[in-house]
Amino acid sequence: MKLYFEPSKGDHVAVIGYSGEFEIKQIFVGADSQYHYRLASAFSGLELDDVIYPWLVYSDEERIRKVIPQLLPECVPWPGDLQKLHEGPNAGSLKFEISSGEMRDGSPSVIVSFFANPNVLPSLDRADSRIAFYKKLRDRLRAVLDPESWIQFTTKEERSLLSAAS
């Protein structure tokens, strides 16, 4: 399977020659018949117009965010103890979030957290199923990550706002 990895409106990128993170605000075809991008900095208010694709740099976190929805259908059947989305454009897919962290030695790491289904009791068989699922995802993600990158998978419980406040 070839992974679809084209810049989209709303993506967060770095730009060669500039500091900070930018959001793609608009995509248009330039006079050279190539895609060009209008970007805005999330922090400084700086706007860049007419940026070309080779100048865009995606972080590992953003690459994973774009690619996981494409990989999940390949990994069916999913572990039964992971929670599925019930609403939105990705309804029926697995619920996950992505964050950045560091390994113990300070190396950067991307952490992909899938949410446990609160209606399913944990078991060793289900844990083995999750481990195999995470391994398959990790192997497929290697194609889009920097070879020096670390990726970690976790399963976390979602707490209701009411129980988190108590």
Do 76 and 110 fall within a single domain? yes
Structure tokens at 54: 């080779």
The tens digit of pLDDT for each residue in 57-73 reads 988 888 888 889 888 98
Do 25 and 107 fall within a single domain? no
Mean pLDDT of 122-148: 86
Mean pLDDT of 71-97: 87
Q: Which domain holds residue 131?
A: 60-165
> C-alpha distances in angstroms, 35 versus 24, 50, 53, 95, 110?
12, 9, 7, 32, 29
Do 80 and 154 fall within a single domain? yes
Do 50 and 70 fall within a single domain? no
Do 85 and 139 fall within a single domain? yes
pTM for this predicted structure? 0.78
Do 52 and 114 fall within a single domain? no
Residues 134 and 94: beta-carbon distance below 8 Å = no
Do 84 and 138 fall within a single domain? yes
Binned at pLDDT 50, 70 and 90, residue 2 comes out as: low
Do 38 and 115 fall within a single domain? no
Which of the listed residues 24, 40, 57 is the one where a domain comes to its end?
A: 57
Do 85 and 100 fall within a single domain? yes
Total domain count, the chain: 2
Do 78 and 150 fall within a single domain? yes
